[in-house]
């Protein structure tokens, strides 16, 4: 496993472990919270579990940590079935949403805690805790108590505490959700940097799609106790396999269309399908705002509102009898409310339901 802090101050990388869920079922009082979850995280991979409240993200993490017993299936680490191994023997580092530092211990003592439990000698303990704190940029705050730290600093300490024991897997359960937007972005980027320096396999639970897309190698979109789709951020965005994923990942317009012969007729254009085997008939088509452009020729529409979003502009237009579409475009186009524009759809494959 990772030599986290080899005494040089710089972590040395080493491949993490493979984490495999094989048809994992978890029930609470007969209700299935996980309905047969299967996926494999490769060594060193950063996987985000993304989905709406109650879809089973935290349950999946807790089952992997050994904090919940599973009812069926298997969980394997590097091929070894750990389904019945107790939590304290699974060697996982965890960071939770709530700040979970011990209030009566200093920052340094909090980080040392796991090493003390493992009966590591005092000198070694102190050195490793200091190095872990330096890794998260808090070497200078070793003597502070939790109430003397900001929320972002407390989560950094929690991260140092999770990593100091050199766990086989890092589990992060909404670690950023209590922080304000700016700190959240800083810390998420830092977690990603440290995780990839260490090469530690990481599972990160979030309900924030932007956060998941920004940091993860792959995102597992969960729905009602199972994984709806797992893929790279690009795959999920460009080729969502279901309406649920298309809606959950990014903004989409929903427009009526007719499928025939492996393509769909929508707003007067014929577009390819993400799933060309879709049966002929009436469907709803998901059109990304950035795949609708202003054109010299095409569908007529009237500008309703337009918003400047820094690097781009998003404009709402009304088509025909009242259909509203969101169009994303360059800030150099500045359509005025009430103006008549023409639209064309980019010929990219679209998901339908
Ligand atoms: P959130 O984003 O709101 O934290 P989640 O996706 O992490 O949601 P889980 O906490 O894994 O969802 O919960 C999945 C389902 O299992 C929910 O229906 C929840 O009510 C149920 N559940 C979770 N923990 C327990 C428990 N200890 N006892 C009974 N039911 C539970």
Phi/psi for 135 (5° steps) reads: -60, -35
Cβ of 56 below 6 Å from ligand 1: yes
pLDDT at 15: 63
* CB-ligand 1 contact for 226 (6 Å cutoff): no
218 with 313, same domain: the answer is: no
Among residues 247, 256, 252, 246, the alpha carbon closest in space to that of 281 is found at 256
Cα 111 to Cα 123: distance, rounded to the nearest angstrom: 14
Res 2: pLDDT = 42
Q: What is the pLDDT of residue 21?
A: 98
251, 337, 261: which is closest to 287 by C-alpha? Answer: 251
119 and 259 within one domain: no
State whether the beta carbon of 144 lies less than 6 angstroms from ligand 1.
no
The pLDDT-based confidence of 3 (bands split at 50, 70, 90) is: very low
The pLDDT of residue 181: 85
Q: What pLDDT sits at residue 106? A: 94
Pair 108, 142: CB distance under 8 Å: yes
CA of 54 to the centre of ligand 1 (A): 5
Question: How close is the Cα of 286 to the center of ligand 1, in Å?
Answer: 30
Q: Say how many domains are in the chain.
A: 2
**Are 172 and 134 members of one domain?**
yes
Q: Are residues 210 and 317 in the same domain?
A: no
Claim to verify: residue 174 and residue 255 sit in the same structural domain: no
Ligand 1 centroid – CA 80 distance (Å)? 27
Nearest-atom number in ligand 1 for the CA of 68 is 27
Cα–Cα distance measured from residue 44 to residue 193, given in angstroms and rounded to the nearest whole number? 12
CATH classification of the domain holding 259: 2.40.50.140
Query: Ligand 1 centre from 58 Cα, in Å?
Result: 7
Q: Mean of the pLDDT values across residues 98-123?
A: 90
- Ligand 1 nearest atom to the CA of residue 61, by list position: 11
Phi and psi dihedrals of 340, rounded to 5?
A: -95, 130
- Name the residue range of residue 303's domain: 251-345
Residue 91 DSSP one-character state: -
Instruction: Name the percent of the chain lying above pLDDT 90.
Output: 72
Dihedral angle of Cα 144, 145, 147, 148, to the nearest 10 degrees: -10
Index of the ligand 1 atom closest to the CA of residue 205: 7
Q: Where does residue 224 fall: left (phi above 0), alpha (psi -120 to 50 degrees), or beta otherwise?
A: left
With a cut of 80, say whether residue 4 has pLDDT above it. no
Q: Write the CA distances from 193 to 136, 186, 197, 216, 257, integer angstroms.
A: 10, 11, 6, 11, 44
Q: pTM for the full model?
A: 0.85
Pocket residue to mutate for ligand 1, from 28, 51, 62, 222, most atoms within 8 A of Cβ: 28
Q: Is the dihedral of CA 326, 327, 333, 338 positive or negative?
A: negative
The answer to whether residues 235 and 255 belong to one domain is no
Q: What is the chain's percent helix, strand, coil content, to nearest 5?
A: 25, 35, 35
Does residue 335 sit in the same domain as residue 295?
yes
* Residue 338 burial (10 A CB sphere; 0-12, 13-18, 19+): exposed
The tens digit of pLDDT for each residue in 36-47 reads: 999 999 999 999
140 vs 98 pLDDT, higher one:
140
**What is the rounded CA–CA span in Å between residue 340 and residue 300?**
7
Both tokens assigned to 289: 């705002």
Please compute the mean of the pLDDT values over residues 72-93 and round it to a whole number: 94
Q: Is 67 in a helix, a strand, or coil? A: coil
Q: Are residues 73 and 121 in the same domain?
A: yes
Query: Atom 21 in ligand 1: which residue has the minimum CA distance?
Result: 33
Which has more pLDDT, 297 or 1? 297
Residue 279 confidence (pLDDT): 95
CA 254 to ligand 1 center in whole angstroms: 30
Q: What is the mean pLDDT of residues 96-118?
A: 89
Task: Among 182, 213, 239, identify where a domain stops.
Answer: 239
Q: Let me know whether 224 and 262 are in one domain.
A: no
The residue among 15 and 124 whose pLDDT is bigger is 124
Residue 8 is predicted with a pLDDT of 37
How many residues appear in the chain?
353
Query: What is the rounded average pLDDT for all residues in the chain?
Result: 90
The pLDDT value given to residue 182:
85
Q: How far is Cα 328 from Cα 304, in angstroms, rounded to an integer?
A: 14
Q: Are 46 and 216 in contact (CB under 8 A)?
A: yes
Confidence at residue 6, expressed as pLDDT on a 0 to 100 scale? 41
pLDDT tens profile 213-249? 999 999 999 999 999 999 999 999 888 888 889 888 8
Do both 92 and 126 map to the same domain?
Answer: yes
- Considering 239, 272, 297, which residue would you say is the last residue of a domain? 239
189, 330: one domain? no
Whether residue 1 has pLDDT greater than 60? no
Atom of ligand 1 nearest to the CA of 62: 11
Tokens, residue 128: 């490793």
CATH number at residue 71: 3.40.50.300
């Amino acid at each position: 496993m990772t030599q986290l802090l080899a005494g040089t101050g710089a972590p040395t990388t080493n491949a993490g472990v493979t984490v495999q869920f094989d048809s994992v079922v978890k029930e609470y009082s007969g209700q299935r919270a996980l309905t047969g979850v299967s996926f494999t995280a490769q060594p060193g991979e950063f996987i985000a579990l993304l989905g709406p409240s109650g879809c089973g993200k935290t349950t999946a993490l807790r089952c992997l940590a050994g904090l919940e017993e599973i009812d069926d299936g298997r969980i394997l680490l590097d091929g070894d079935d750990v389904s019945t191994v107790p939590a304290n023997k699974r060697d996982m580092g965890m960071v939770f949403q709530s700040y979970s530092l011990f209030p009566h211990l200093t920052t340094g003592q909090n980080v040392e805690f796991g090493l003390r439990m493992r009966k590591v000698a005092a000198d070694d303990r102190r050195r490793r805790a200091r190095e872990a704190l330096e890794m998260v940029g808090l070497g200078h705050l070793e003597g502070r108590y939790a109430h003397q730290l900001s929320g972002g600093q407390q989560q950094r300490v929690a991260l140092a505490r999770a990593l100091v024991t050199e766990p086989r897997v890092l589990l992060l359960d909404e670690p950023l959700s209590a922080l304000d937007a700016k700190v959240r972005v800083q810390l998420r980027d830092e977690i990603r940097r440290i995780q990839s320096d260490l090469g530690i396999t990481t599972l990160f639970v979030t309900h924030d799609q932007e956060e998941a897309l920004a940091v993860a190698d792959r995102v597992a979109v969960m729905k009602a106790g199972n994984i709806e789709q797992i893929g790279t951020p690009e795959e999920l965005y460009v080729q969502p396999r279901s309406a649920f994923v298309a809606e959950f990942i990014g903004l989409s317009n929903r427009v009526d269309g007719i499928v025939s012969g492996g393509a769909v007729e929508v707003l007067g254009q014929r577009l390819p399908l993400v799933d060309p085997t879709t049966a002929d008939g009436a469907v709803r088509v998901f059109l990304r705002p950035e795949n609708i452009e202003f054109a010299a020729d095409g569908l007529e529409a009237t500008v309703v509102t337009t918003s400047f979003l820094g690097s781009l502009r998003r404009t709402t237009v009304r088509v025909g009898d009242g259909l509203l579409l969101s169009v994303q475009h360059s800030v150099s186009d500045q359509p005025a409310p009430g103006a008549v524009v023409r639209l064309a759809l980019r010929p990219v494959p679209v998901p339908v339901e």
